[in-house]
Amino acid sequence: MRFDIVVSVAVLLMGMLAAHALSETASSTLAGPESFASIADPEQRSVALFAELGKVLTHPRCVNCHPAGDRPRQGELGRMHQPPVERGPDGHGLKTMRCAICHQGANFEPGRVPGHPEWHLAPREMAWEGKMLGEICAQIKDPARNGGRSLQDLVHHIGTDTLVGWGWAPGFGRQPVPGTQRDAGELAEAWVRTGAVCPTR
């Protein structure tokens, strides 16, 4: 009996420690470009800047609508979207089930439905789901796979696009992307300024 109690307490403590470790790893902030000034090698600094920006790019708020297939994901675990919608020819859904029939111009908290006037899926060639950060980096630098954007366009897109910005104000029960959109824009700008070097993996 006493042994059982000792084991139970030990399990409880281990659980609490694990939960603590998890909360330590889930940062809600982004380091600013100045945090990387001590890295002398510009290439390494550029990679480090992109790795920090990667906290945004690989966040569920972003990846869920950059899926590998034709269906968006949802939630923190990237479950398949319910109801079972598909991207359709223009990324705004099938003819009979457009994104906008549920996703209004803004988040609607009573219905717990996120919203934005331009709610849609990223094109197939911009899929990030299941990719390493280095692969995403190479992809977003490639005009053939980034919607024909220059590096400066990318900085602008990440830093000011309002649909991207939804990730920081996602509404009821959704974890926002770390930091602020301005932080992300500054990281992207610093990354481009240092040569837009990609991580190897």
Partner 1 sequence: MTTLTVTINERAYGPMDVRDDLTMNDFLREFLGLTGTKFGCGAAQCLSCAVIVDSTDGTSYTMPTCVAPATGFHGKAIRTVEGHVKNGELSALQKAFIDHFAFQCGYCTAGFLNEGQVLLERLEKKRVPRAELEKTIAEALDGHLCRCTGYIKYHEAVRDLILADPKRYLV
Residues at the contact surface with partner 1, assessed by CB under 8 A: 82-85, 94-98, 101-102, 104-105, 108-113
Q: How far is the CB of 81 from partner 1 (least distance, A)?
A: 10
Q: Which of 64, 194 has the CB closer to partner 1?
A: 64
Closest CA to 158 of 134, 190, 182: 182
Q: Which of 15, 111 has the CB closer to partner 1?
A: 111
Q: Which of 109, 118 has the CB closer to partner 1?
A: 109
Q: Which of 58, 104 has the CB closer to partner 1?
A: 104
Q: How far is the CB of 115 from partner 1 (least distance, A)?
A: 9
Q: Which of 38, 82 has the CB closer to partner 1?
A: 82
Q: How far is the CB of 104 from partner 1 (least distance, A)?
A: 5
Q: How far is the CB of 90 from partner 1 (least distance, A)?
A: 15
Q: How far is the CB of 167 from partner 1 (least distance, A)?
A: 20
**Cross-strand pairs, 94:** 97
Contact between residue 145 and residue 124 where contact means Cβ atoms under 8 Å apart: no
Q: CB under 8 Å to 12, separation ≥6 — which residues?
A: none
**Torsions phi, psi for 97 (to 5 deg):** -150, 75
Relative orientation angle of helices 133-141 and 42-57, to the nearest 10 degrees: 100
At residue 136, what is the residue type? I
Q: How far is the CB of 89 from partner 1 (least distance, A)?
A: 13
